[in-house]
A = this chain, B = another copy of it.
């Protein structure tokens, strides 16, 4: 048993989809969340900048006594975790490995799609890991740079003409590749599930990166006998780098319930 909190971080709000799943699979597990809302989005930035920001985000989280960190951001997982995870003493669960393992379990025809931010797709991290774990699988990827701004501005519903036109532009080439599994390689994308399914068709299984991370984190803790006991109180403390006021209303959309008033501001550039 280990009642210490898990740290979860993201460039902004998307990682809250992982928090929601962590709360579902481990309801007594306390969580510390950091969202870098003062510098979001990371997905169009260079690898060097993403690594620098990731280091600072992790340094802040490590001011708490944590048992595990979840990098709930596709862009950081794909561009920085291979470098930064070695600098940290506790395990870090990332989006890439969690969702690749799930996709390999799910696929029947060995044809896997990956969508993510520009930096994520450019990194080639998904292709490398899939070909290491399932050498016969074929991978088809597409960058979807406008999905994060669309979601953060509340435009993710099926029937929204603009969202559907942009999704169609990004996903049509993938839909023609006969893939049976699509990794949503960014924790914002689960909110676009209906729109994405609309283009890909009902036979393509979508892998939700936040959910895959949560399941992966829980099984790692179970294996190491580090789950919380039943009397632990759970809950999530939120930290952000911009004004907490702007954060709470959109965060509630991601979490699916209202975010408590426990939101504090951090000067992340000082870490």
Contacts and interface: CB of A to CB of B under 8 A. Distances in A.
Interface of A: 37-39, 44-46, 48-49, 145-146, 149-150, 152-153, 155, 161-163, 165-166, 169, 241-243, 245-246, 269
A66 B77 CA distance: 42
Given A39-B39, A145-B153, A269-B269, A46 B162 contact: no
A242 B165 contact: no
Given A145-B153, A146-B150, A46 B165 contact: no
A155 B149 CA distance: 13
A11 to B, nearest CB: 12
- In the complex this chain forms, how many copies of it are found? 2
Contact of A149 (B39, B45, B146, B246): B146
Given A38-B45, A45-B242, A146-B149, 15 more contacts: A37-B45, A38-B39, A39-B39, A44-B152, A44-B246, A45-B246, A46-B242, A46-B243, A46-B245, A46-B246, A49-B242, A146-B153, A161-B165, A162-B165, A165-B165
Nearest to A150: B146
A213 to B, nearest CB: 26
A147 B176 CA distance: 30
Contacts of A150: 146
Contacts of A245: 46
A42 to B, nearest CB: 10
